[in-house]
Each structure stands twice: as structure tokens, then as C-alpha cells.
């Protein structure tokens, strides 16, 4: 025979357990909602419809290893970095098309970001004397600039370094070969310079990291001089 006070104590404990369970569930739901609210990726500003402008693309052609200039009309944002990304997106969309002369899968979404940084005067003069500029000074500067809360104020004139951040899937699916990879790299550099002549140097990242080569051949650790990638009409790189 169970004494009455023990039955009462058991009932109270059971009730307390149920109340605590409900409270914990509610707290969990609240925390979950708070977490989702913190990661909200919805745009804070309504998207603006940019007016269509003419963009110059240097489109590679595998059949004769050439790069030809093509003019396309597409909406371009006012921000130079977004503008560069939009132009490169169009270029890679052309390469991803079924009848592309330089087929590369991936398309416009393969360009994650394009960061524009002022080229230090010392670096500009060094690049003028020796084309490739080894080392990670530019990527270090890029990291410092992106991790900091306030971006450095950029001068309105002077040469710029474009840091093109590509997706890992783009690099992984890129056709392997010196010719194919060189054409891709040079057409990206040439297209950036053709649309924004202030971009004189280009560096590449893949998923935000430096990578030795694009698909086993073309060097992605060096700084490319964008102006050198712009050839005469139909010439080989």
C-alpha cells in the first residue's frame, strides 16, 4: 500500500516534469526563430532595375585560339565591383551555352565576387618593370580589406586591382589544358580591362582561397596585367 503523501509527491513531480518539458520546448522554438532571423539573407533593399548598357566582351574561340570583341547590351549596376561581376557573368554565360566556341560549364553564377582595390604606386611601378608579381601581398591586402568593418576609401582615379573570386565548381569542371585555361584567364582579364580601363591588374581566388592553377595548368597565383590581355581583333593571345 503506497502512502498518500508519496502519491501526492509523485503527482507534483510528474506535473513539474511536464511543465519543464513544455517550457524547454518553447525556449527551443524561440532560439530557433532568433537564429533564423540572424541569418536572414533577404535583401535589405528592394532590387533596382538597372538600365541596359553596352558591355564589351572578349570572347575566346578554341577553333583558332583567338579572342574576339563582342558588344552585348545588358543591365549593369552602378557599383563598379557589381558591374564587373555582371560583365564577367555574361561572359561565362556565353561559355556555358551549348554552341559555345570556348565551352566551359558553370555560367554567370561562377563569379562569386569581384573586388576592386587601388593599386599601390610601388606595386604599379614594379608591375611595369616585371610583369608577374609573385607573393601574396595583394591577397593579404584583400583579406585585410574584406575582414575590416570599414572599407578603405578608394581614390576615384588611378589603377585598380581586380580580385575575381570564382567558385570551386567552376575550377573543378573547367576543361584541362594549357590552351583552354589560358584563353579563359586572358578573356576574363581582357573583358575587365575593356569595360573598366582603370583595372590594370587581375588576381584570382577560388572559393575565397588562393589556388595554384585553374585546372592543372594556368597559374592562378600571379597577378595578371589586364591591359596585356587585350589583343588586336582576332589575334591569338
Partner 1 sequence: MPARLEIRTFLHAFDRVFLVRLLFWALLSCVAAAQPAPPAPQARFVVVLDAAHGGDDAGGRLANNQLEKSFTLALSVRLRSLLGARGIQVVTTRESDVGVEPEKRAEIANHAQAQACLSLHASENGLGVYLFASSLSPALHPSDKDLSLGTPVQPTRFAAWKTAQTAWVTRSLALEGVLHSALQHAGMSVTLGRTSLPVVDSMSCPAVAVEIAPEMGPDKKVAAGLDDLDYQARVAEALAAALVEWRSEAHQP
Q: Which residues of the shown chain bind partner 1 in the complex (CB under 8 A)?
A: 62-63, 65, 130-132, 134, 175-180, 182, 212-213, 215-219, 221-222, 224, 228, 236-237
DSSP sequence for 71-110: EEEEE--SSHHHHHHHHHHHHHHHHHSTT-SS--TT-GGG
Q: Is 205 or 218 the residue whose CB approaches partner 1 more closely?
A: 218
CA geometry: angle 129, 135, 140, nearest 5 deg:
120
Q: Is 182 or 191 the residue whose CB approaches partner 1 more closely?
A: 182
DSSP state of 199: E
Closest C-alpha to 145, from 125, 131, 128, 165: 165
CA distance from start to end of the chain: 97
CB of 223 to partner 1, least distance (A): 10
Closest C-alpha to 159, from 187, 133, 185, 186: 133
Q: Which residues pair with 201 in a beta bridge?
A: 161, 225
Q: Is the Cβ–Cβ distance between 39 and 211 less than 8 Å?
A: no
CB of 66 to partner 1, least distance (A): 10
Q: Is 194 or 229 the residue whose CB approaches partner 1 more closely?
A: 229
CB of 58 to partner 1, least distance (A): 15
CB of 233 to partner 1, least distance (A): 17
Q: Is 73 or 236 the residue whose CB approaches partner 1 more closely?
A: 236
Q: Is 182 or 195 the residue whose CB approaches partner 1 more closely?
A: 182
Nearest-angstrom CA–CA distance, 216 and 179: 12
CB of 168 to partner 1, least distance (A): 17
Amino acid at each position: 500500500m503506497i502512502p498518500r503523501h508519496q502519491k501526492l509527491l509523485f503527482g507534483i513531480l510528474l506535473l513539474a516534469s511536464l511543465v519543464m518539458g513544455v517550457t524547454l520546448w518553447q525556449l527551443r522554438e524561440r532560439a530557433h526563430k532568433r537564429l533564423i532571423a540572424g541569418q536572414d539573407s533577404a535583401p535589405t533593399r528592394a532590387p533596382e532595375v538597372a538600365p541596359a548598357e553596352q558591355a564589351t566582351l572578349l570572347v575566346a574561340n578554341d577553333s583558332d585560339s583567338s579572342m574576339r570583341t563582342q558588344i552585348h547590351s545588358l543591365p549593369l549596376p552602378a557599383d563598379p565591383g557589381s558591374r564587373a561581376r555582371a560583365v564577367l557573368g555574361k561572359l561565362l554565360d556565353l561559355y556555358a551555352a551549348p554552341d559555345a566556341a570556348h565551352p566551359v560549364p558553370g555560367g554567370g553564377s561562377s563569379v562569386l565576387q569581384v573586388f576592386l582595390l587601388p593599386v599601390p604606386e610601388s606595386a604599379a611601378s614594379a608591375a611595369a618593370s616585371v610583369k608577374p608579381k609573385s607573393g601574396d601581398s595583394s591577397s593579404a591586402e584583400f583579406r585585410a580589406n574584406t575582414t575590416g568593418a570599414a572599407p578603405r576609401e578608394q581614390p576615384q582615379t588611378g589603377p585598380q586591382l581586380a580580385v575575381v573570386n570564382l567558385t570551386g565548381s567552376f575550377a573543378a569542371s573547367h576543361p584541362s589544358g594549357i590552351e583552354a585555361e589560358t584563353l579563359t584567364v586572358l578573356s576574363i582579364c581582357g573583358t575587365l580591362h575593356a569595360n573598366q580601363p582603370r583595372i590594370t591588374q587581375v588576381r584570382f581566388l577560388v572559393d575565397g582561397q588562393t589556388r595554384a592553377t585553374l585546372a592543372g595548368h594556368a597559374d592562378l597565383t600571379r597577378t595578371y596585367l589586364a591591359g596585356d590581355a587585350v589583343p588586336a581583333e582576332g589575334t591569338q593571345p
